[in-house]
Amino acid sequence: MKLTRHNGRAGKNGAYNPKHNDRQFDVANSDHIDQERAKQNVYWDCYQGYRFPTDQAQEDQITYSFEQIEQAFYSERYDDFCEAQHERNRKTGHTGRDRSTKDLWEDKKTCPEESLIQIGTMEKSVSPAVLAEIAAEFFEEFDRRFGKHIHILDWALHLDEATPHIHERHVFDCENRYGEIAPQQEKALEALGFERPHPNQKASKLNSRKITFDAACRVMLFDICERHGLHLDREPEYGGRAYLEKQDYILMKQKEKMAVQDQQIESKEAELEAITIRIEDTEAFVEEVADAAYEQAVDVVTKTVQEEIRNEDFDLIEEHRRIILNNAELSDRERSFAHRIFAGLMNRFKGMTRHISERMAAIFRSPEKKAEIKEPIKESIRDRLARNQKRADELNARRRAERGVPPKRKQQNIEL
């Protein structure tokens, strides 16, 4: 099984809203959500603690949504920063730059970051109880190590979709140059001691403290899973914005596609029952040639991909490890931490090339994928056979004409 941890803040419609997470909408309008299983979901936030869908149904139980909780946290923690900034704007004549705590919550640069944690797929996953226990330990360790500057606002365990998973939202903050607490990711990670993968190079999306932080979180999550007896594939699974935004839409479209395919299969089966065209000898030859060509192509492709990934990734990891560990400014603690991260990465990549090769071969050799890709090969073979047959027929016709022999009548092996 694979461990998935995706991160994101905003999509094409702006910052992510937590309404999806605590089901603050009519789930009856979402085909991919099981209304009965939705009652088993588990929610947690930094003010109310644990709560369940049944709490909202109790008239004497006052509950607040994730959206209300997050805005309350922003108001309580960042109001002083906003007021002080308003005063600075007033003095410089830039009051148009004033922002409220709600503006900070909605801005894609200062809004909460959302993480999605999932173990396995629709076909195979861990039990909800195990996932919840692992997540709880991870959040506890996360808060212990990073809680001074990274605050978990809320999380939701969803049991009402195809695969159990958890949505968690947190915010980064630290003191600015005026001594005010403000939401700022890079400064918060710097205060926690995280460095860029290439400290001597310019900061960028591929060279940021966030990359180092995410790698540390991933190692921490894998360690917790291993303590629970889970041995997961350490191949990284990336997603981010597109995954968080489209996951529900994709599930719905998959169901629609499967329904259409079922109808198409039934239609084709009906057609095959009505008209069966048998070209047994030719088709057997085409199938044999196409199968041999396909198997050779799969072997070449998987071997090439395995060699390229092994060479490039191992060199890249070793280069990064050498640059960081040779940094004289690192403390022993930081050097030890970096060494553990790179050791984990190297162990993961050692098995990754074989895993990718086997996975690619398994995919390409699956009956469905093999039939799909072989079809163009078979069509090409049929076309070449037809052209060769046409040339042979023309040649035979000329020979018969020269000998004065009448042409043979073709027999079509077709049953109606």
Query: Residue 37 corresponds to which tokens in the numbers above?
Result: 């299983």
Please write the tens of the pLDDT for every residue from 392-407.
777 777 766 765 645 5
pLDDT exceeds cutoff 60 at 285? yes
d(CA 24, CA 69): 13
Mean per-residue pLDDT, 94-118: 95
Please write the tens of the pLDDT for every residue from 59-98.
556 689 999 999 999 999 999 999 999 999 999 999 999 9
Mean per-residue pLDDT, 372-386: 75
Euclidean distance between the first and the last CA atom of the chain, given in angstroms as a whole number: 49
| Rg value, the chain, Cα | 30
Q: Rounded to whole angstroms, what are the CA distances from 245 to 16, 35, 40, 399?
A: 8, 21, 23, 69
- For residue 226, give the nearest of 362, 347, 359 by alpha carbon: 347
pLDDT exceeds cutoff 70 at 18? yes
Give yes or no for a contact between 125 and 118, defined as CB atoms under 8 angstroms apart. yes
Flag the least confident range among 60-74, 222-236, 272-286: 272-286
- For residue 126, give the nearest of 223, 32, 231, 43 by alpha carbon: 231
Can you give the pTM of this predicted structure?
0.57
Give yes or no for a contact between 330 and 338, defined as CB atoms under 8 angstroms apart. yes
d(CA 252, CA 258): 10
* Run of H or E including 343: helix 332-365
Average pLDDT, the chain: 80
Please, how many CA atoms are within 13 Å of residue 116, restricted to the half-sphere of its CB? Answer: 26
SS3 21: coil
Region of 203 (left: φ > 0; alpha: ψ -120 to 50; beta: rest) is beta
pLDDT for the residue 294: 66
Residue 366 CB-density burial (10 A; 0-12 exposed, 13-18 middle, 19+ buried): exposed
Domain ranges of the chain: 3-249
pLDDT exceeds cutoff 70 at 388? yes
Q: Of 279 and 182, which is predicted with more confidence?
A: 182
- For residue 39, give the nearest of 58, 52, 50 by alpha carbon: 52
- Phi/psi for 252 (5° steps) reads -65, -45
d(CA 55, CA 180): 37
pLDDT for the residue 390: 78
In 161-250, which ranges are E strands? 165-175, 181-183
Residue type, 202: K
- Phi/psi for 393 (5° steps) reads -65, -40
Give yes or no for a contact between 260 and 351, defined as CB atoms under 8 angstroms apart. no
Residue 41 CB-density burial (10 A; 0-12 exposed, 13-18 middle, 19+ buried): buried
